């Protein structure tokens, strides 16, 4: 007789917001440098409980660095990052491991383990952090795969899947332990427009069905407008504007406007050489 999966063992008891406007994540004057390269120069940002915050900005501006600081993959040099009121840099190992269970992470390049099956990828965190049996973990993995629109693939290997399917498996893995916070690093990068919209819709559903707080790193403005409650622009190591999608779309800030409209001329590119070439008319030989 098959056992029912013990979902309660993987449930996050602090999933639901205590008050509607309560910030789940507070970032205060956060700095991060690599040698002499200053990437984050005093980032300030608040993400309310249940909200999807999209952080936009050009390549190399520190968006992914900020995400890695929030989840502890990188340690910030100074400033504060508070998750549910806890400043993460002061946590002991046991406290930090407990806090990490609140997080799910969707990496830019799906980061699946090629040597294990799909259900083992989805259940990897459950195997590491719970006492569930393989049978129970597989049942949970199948359930999470269904939530992202994948059925009957749990015994396949990652190499057998398309890029879009692998991205959805990555999302299923992120929600396997019922996190209250999901971090997405460029979730639509490398996908065709149709599959990118599939991922966008799934992110919206995660917010609505699972009531999670999300931070999404992207430079895809179509995706940002679709999924965001709030959008923050990171530029030169600082957040220079936070607003609703409509406020960002109609911004008066010249830097933000150039970025979201994809304009070649403006303060972001002023004084920089982007390889423009003065083409001369072709010489014709008789």
Q: Residue 97 has what pLDDT?
A: 81
Coil, strand, or helix at residue 115?
A: coil
Handedness of CA 144, 149, 155, 157 (dihedral sign): negative
Measured CA to CA, the distance from residue 238 to residue 242 in angstroms comes to: 11
The contacts of residue 64 (CB under 8 Å, 6+ apart) are 108, 185, 186, 217
What is residue 265's DSSP assignment?
A: S
Residue 213 — φ and ψ, nearest 5°? -95, 135
Residue 11 has pLDDT above 90, yes or no: no
Q: Residue 3 has what pLDDT?
A: 43
Percent helix, strand, coil in the chain, to 5, is 35, 20, 45
CA distances from 226 to 57, 93, 203, 243 (A): 17, 37, 10, 14
Q: pLDDT tens for residues 218-248?
A: 988 999 999 999 999 999 999 999 999 999 9
The contacts of residue 276 (CB under 8 Å, 6+ apart) are none
Q: pLDDT tens for residues 114-142?
A: 899 999 999 998 888 888 999 999 999 99
- For the chain, the structural domain boundaries read 23-102+181-191+212-266
Q: Residue 7 has what pLDDT?
A: 36
The architecture that CATH gives domain 23-102+181-191+212-266 is 3-Layer(aba) Sandwich (3.40)
């Amino acid at each position: 007789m098959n056992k029912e999966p013990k979902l309660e063992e993987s449930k996050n008891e602090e999933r639901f917001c205590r008050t509607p406007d309560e910030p789940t994540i507070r970032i205060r004057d956060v700095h991060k440098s690599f040698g002499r390269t200053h990437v984050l120069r005093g980032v300030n940002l608040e993400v309310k409980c249940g909200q999807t915050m999209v952080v936009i900005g050009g390549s190399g501006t520190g968006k992914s660095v900020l995400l890695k600081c929030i989840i502890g993959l990188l340690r910030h040099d100074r400033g504060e990052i508070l998750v549910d009121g806890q400043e993460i840099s002061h946590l002991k190992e046991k406290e930090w491991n407990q806090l990490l269970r609140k997080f799910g992470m969707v990496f830019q390049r799906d980061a699946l383990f090629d040597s294990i099956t799909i259900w083992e990828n989805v259940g990897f965190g459950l195997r590491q952090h719970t006492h569930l049996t393989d049978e129970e973990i597989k049942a949970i993995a199948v359930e999470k795969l269904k939530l992202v629109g994948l059925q009957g693939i749990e015994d396949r290997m990652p190499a057998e899947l398309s890029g879009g399917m692998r991205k959805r498996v990555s999302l299923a893995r992120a929600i396997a332990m019922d996190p209250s916070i999901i971090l997405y690093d460029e979730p639509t990068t490398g996908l065709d427009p149709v599959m990118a919209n599939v991922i966008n819709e799934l992110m919206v559903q995660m917010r609505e069905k699972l009531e999670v707080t999300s931070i999404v790193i992207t430079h895809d403005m179509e995706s940002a407008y679709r999924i965001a409650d709030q959008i923050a622009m990171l530029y030169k190591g600082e957040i220079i504007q936070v607003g609703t999608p409509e406020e960002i779309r109609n911004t008066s800030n010249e830097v933000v406007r150039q970025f979201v409209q994809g304009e070649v001329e403006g303060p972001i590119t002023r004084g920089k050489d982007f390889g423009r070439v003065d083409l001369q008319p072709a010489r014709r030989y008789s």
